[in-house]
Amino acid sequence: MPPLNSAGPLKFKHLADVRHYPDIYQPNSVLPADMRLGHDGRTIKGVGRWGATRGERMMFVYGQNDPWSAERFKPSKHDSMVFEAPGSNHGALISKLQPADRAHAEAAVKRWAGQ
């Protein structure tokens, strides 16, 4: 296995004159030194590839304003789906979906549960 690569410090050149603590924005900056590791993006790429090709009965519910959904997981064609809850953030719920999407999501969950 090749060594892990570290992304290094983040660059905010356009904010250079207003940053008071420029070294705080580094990968793993909040972890103790002995727990800091480099980032290996292969793992999450593999998870995404598996979900998009082999995942079954997977439901992704994203909020319209969810900052974590900049790069969403893509559902496979194996009884999987993705929804977006309008006006919601990272805590999006099936109950916050539009009525037609909510009915579709609830029907899928019931089907998966054998009801």
What pLDDT is stored for residue 69 in this prediction? 64
Cα separation of 38 and 53, whole Å?
Answer: 28
Q: Which amino acid is at 51?
A: G
pLDDT along the chain (115 residues), means of 10: 45 75 67 77 90 96 83 92 93 95 98 95
Q: What is the 3-state secondary structure (H, E, C) of 63-85?
A: ECCCHHHCCCCCCCCCCCEEEEE
Q: What separation in angstroms does the CA of 78 have from each of 56, 90, 113?
A: 5, 25, 16
What's the pTM? 0.66
Cα separation of 106 and 104, whole Å?
Answer: 6
What pLDDT is stored for residue 23 in this prediction? 65
| Residue 92 exposed, middle or buried by CB count within 10 Å (0-12, 13-18, 19+) | buried
Q: How do the domains of the chain map onto residue ranges?
A: 14-115
